[in-house]
Structures are given as C-alpha cells and as structure tokens.
Amino acid sequence: MGKPTGFIDFVRELPVDRTPRERIRDWNEFHHHMDEKRLRQQGARCMDCGVPFCHNGTVIEGSTVGCPVNNLIPEWNDLVYRGLWQEALTRLHKTNNFPDFTGRVCPAPCEGSCVLGISSPPVTIKNLEAAIIDRGFEEGWVVAEPPKTRTGKKVVIVGSGPAGLAAAAQLNRAGHLVTVLERDDRPGGLLMYGIPNMKLDKRAVVERRIALLEREGIKFMCNATVGENVEAQMLLKDFDATLICTGATQPRDLPVEGRKLGGVHFAMEYLTASTKALLDGKPDAGLLNAKGKDVVVIGGGDTGTDCIGTALRQGCRSLLQIEIMPKSPAERAANNPWPEWPKIHRVDYAQEEAVAKFGQDPRVWLTTVKKFVGNAGGQLEAVVTVEISWETVDGRLVPQERPGSEKTHPAQLVLLAMGFTGPESPLLEELGLKCDARSNVQAEYGKYATSVKGVYAAGDCRRGQSLIVWAINEGRGAAREVDRYLMGRTDLP
C-alpha cells in the first residue's frame, strides 16, 4: 500500500450529513461530499493486511462476509490515496456494473469484515466507492460503450431491478440483443420504487444509469406484465433465451383481527406510491399518504426505516415502529465474531430524524401487534400491541405474550414491513417453472438454469430476499451462463 501507516495516522471519517430537521423538509439525498484530501486520507487507512476479507463475498452462519461482487477494494483504495481516480474507477467497474447504486444503498458487508475493524473503526469503503463513481461521472469518464459486433442472439429479461440490469449490461456487452420487460411505468424495479429518493435519487442516479444502458443498445419495455399483456409462451418462441429477475416481491402478511381495515397497507405499496407521486410532481397527492396521521410501522429492517423517513417527509403526526426481536447489543456478541456482519444496535437516518422531530426513537422491541381497531366505516383507528418474550418450546424459540402488557396506540396508517416470502407465482406458473421448498425458482447457484430449457433465473426470485450486491452478483453470473448457453462458450467474467 502507498501509506503503510495510514491506518494509524488517520481516523475514520464520513461525510457530514445535512441536519435531520433540514433534510426532512425535502426529498434530496442527505449526504454532503468530502473534499479530495480527506478522501485520500480515508483511502490511506486501508491496511496491507495480506488476506483481505473485504472482497471475499461469502456467507458464514447466514451472514454475508465481504463483498458479494468481489470488488477489488484494496486496489482502488490505494489508487484513491495516490490520487489516481480514473484508474480506481476502472478497477471498480471490473467487478461492479453499478457502484453508483451500491455506493449509496448497500449495507456494506465489506466494512463488517474489514481486517482493520478487528481493533479499530473499519475503512470507509462504501463512501470511497460512491466518491469514485461520482467523480467518474463528473469528469466524463463514464460513457456509453456499445458492443462493436452483435451476435444476432435475442435475450429477454423479465424484471429491471439490480439483477436484471446487471444481467442486461453483461449480455449486451457480449453482443446479444437484450430486451428488458418491466411491469411498472418506469424501469429500475426495487431501485426505482423500493428505495426512497433521499437514499437513491431517481433522476440524478437511477435514470442516468438506465439512459446509459439504453445508449449501449438495451431496450426497455415498461408496463409489460407477463401473463397479462405479454404472453409467457411468446417469450420462449420469440427469444433465444429468457432470464427471470422478478425479485422476491410477495410481502409477508400479518393475519390478525382487523387486517382488512382501510389504512393497513404493505410497505412496498406505500413506498411505491410515494415515489410515483414525487416523480409525477404530486408528492402530497393520494390517499396513501402520512400527512397529519398517526403512523405505525411494523418491522425493523431497512424497509421499515424507509417508511419512517418517508412518513416524516410527508408530515405525519406521530410515529411508532414495532420490532418483534430484542434490541441488539451495543457491541458484538460472543456468537457474532469478526468477520461476520456486526449485529449491533444502530440508529439509522430515519430514526435520527424521528428523534429530532419528536424527541425520541420511534422503535419498541419485543413487541407484536394483537389486533387492529377500526370505526364503523371500516377505517383504522388504533393498533393494540402486546409485549412478548422468546421461549423455547419443543426445541425452538417461539414468542410468548407477557400478561398485562397490552397497549392501544392511535393509528390511521399502518405499514407492514416484515420482509418478503418469495417471488409472485403467476409468471412462474405460466412458464411451468419448478420452485423449491421456499417457493423460489429452482435453479442452482452458479448455473442459474431452471427446469425449462433456455430459461434462467437470478436474484431474489432464485435465492430469496437478499442484498442488492447479491442481486448484482447473480445477474452477472446468470449472464455468463446464458452467454455460454447461446454461444457454447463465454468470455464474460
């Protein structure tokens, strides 16, 4: 490394965020940029560790360790330190088609497995990744690179989320004619409608990248729903290969009393409506809006956090976020050693904003919903919760209610953010694809071939709900196997 003592000489620094009270007044990204000197110092903190776990990209005990797309992190950290930004960008694009996405919304498992993190705060890998790609766009280094020759082979990709986009980019690079079908009105899938604008700017970041892919020759068809206005069997007839990248979009429901009341919605329904209204220039329009309402979010993951941040910007009256699991410890537990992702208590951007507005963290732990209460008109008025403890019954942990712990909370909007159970089934049934025991498309990791010849699957529809970086990993891997199927060999990485 260029600065062998950098991890000693410099402390970990991140860009200063806009204040919570300021940023909840708009939908803009809330991170400020760091100056080049400080970015180079952060690159210098990358150690000459010998065995870098940061780009390992594997799973240990259910925890992602290192970067699933195998980013060459020590190499581009060193190049940033030496001020060689264009070379750093070249290294970054070797493994990751979309660092402009991952540098903003990836949870950075690479930092959780950084060797420096054993004894000190880890290297700011995610921020450096974002800085490299942003510099690349600012300098004009990121340009459309259409293939010089075409194979004449036609590939259709169903779904334009991170897996579909990564596969499209790679297959187009190999010279195939790629068409991407998207059932929504704009391409991007999860990137467009599943993540709010303040985390991932739709026009400045997502649409910029999609426009680049279009200039490279990829064709996007929106409002195209296979099984409705697109015949599934026609895909097999009109294209030489089909790749399913529809994601795991079937939300987990909460079948308790009052579930059908007006005002109880799935989180993704709410986030999609919010972003559509924003992009259509009507951010306060529609019934699915938190303005002036008592909002309850059920679920403590990233989606629940994004619901909190969105409700704040819409002007909610109060917030409550319910988590059935216990509060995480402040430090790594003994059963959560490095290099696993540190399962520790964090205050994310939205909870920080809620504290600034309402004076307290909206989260409660070891709590679940007992029932929803409505009025005579069938509209939600309140949520009844109960505290639980986790007890071992027949060898497994199950939640048990704590007597006398019931509470009633006012609520006119409830958002269910409890994760996803798998892909939606109509398309899979139309194509006759076999599914595994978890209802995901049956296709072996690394091969991606389904039970139907010429049809492949990648991303969350194959592996289940996961990270964006895993989706990109799978999209790239599936592209390689589709290329091999079409050409008998492949040069794709």
* DSSP secondary structure string for all residues of 227-273: TTTB-HHHHHHH-SEEEE-----EEPP---BTTTSBTEEEHHHHHHH
Domains and CATH numbers, the chain: 6-139 (1.10.1060.10), 154-249+421-487 (3.50.50.60), 253-418 (3.50.50.60)
Give pairs for 399-403: CB < 8 Å, separation 24+. 399/324, 399/368, 401/370
pLDDT of residue 61: 84
**In this predicted structure, what is the pLDDT of residue 1?**
67
Residue 472: C-alpha distances to residues 164, 182, 293 (Å): 8, 17, 37
**Residue 230 contacts residue 245 (beta carbons within 8 Å):** no
Q: H-type helices in 118-225, by residue range?
A: 125-139, 162-173, 207-215
Q: Are 411 and 290 in contact (CB under 8 A)?
A: no
Distances 113 to 10, 60, 116, 332, 396 between C-alpha atoms, Å: 19, 11, 9, 13, 30
Q: Determine phi and psi for 21, rounding to 5 degrees.
A: -65, -30
Vertex 448: Cα angle to 446 and 451 (nearest 5): 140
Question: In this structure, what token pair is assigned to residue 402?
Answer: 């704590």
pLDDT in tens, the chain (493 residues): 678 999 999 999 999 999 999 999 999 999 888 999 999 999 999 998 989 999 989 999 888 999 999 999 999 999 999 999 999 999 999 999 999 999 999 999 999 999 999 999 999 999 999 999 999 999 999 999 999 999 999 999 999 999 999 999 999 999 999 999 999 999 999 999 999 999 999 999 999 999 999 999 999 999 999 989 999 999 999 999 999 999 999 999 999 999 999 999 999 999 999 999 999 998 776 679 999 999 999 999 999 999 999 999 999 999 999 999 999 999 999 999 999 999 999 999 999 999 999 999 999 999 999 999 999 999 999 999 999 999 999 989 999 999 999 999 999 999 999 999 999 989 999 999 999 999 999 999 999 999 999 999 999 999 999 999 999 999 999 999 999 999 999 999 9
Q: Which two tokens stand for residue 55?
A: 């780009």
Query: 3-class DSSP state for residue 190?
Result: helix
How high is the pLDDT of residue 348? 96
Buried b (16+ CB within 10 A) or exposed e, 439-465: bbbbbeeeebbbeeebbbbbbbbbbbb
Task: Output the CA torsion 214→215→216→220 (10° steps).
Answer: 10
Q: How far is CA 380 from CA 194, 259, 273, 384, in A?
A: 25, 9, 19, 11
pTM for the predicted model, two decimal places: 0.96
DSSP 8-state secondary structure symbol assigned to residue 145:
-
CB-neighbour burial class of residue 227 (10 A; exposed 0-12, middle 13-18, buried 19+): middle
pLDDT given at position 32: 86
As a whole number of Å, the CA-based R_g of the chain is 23
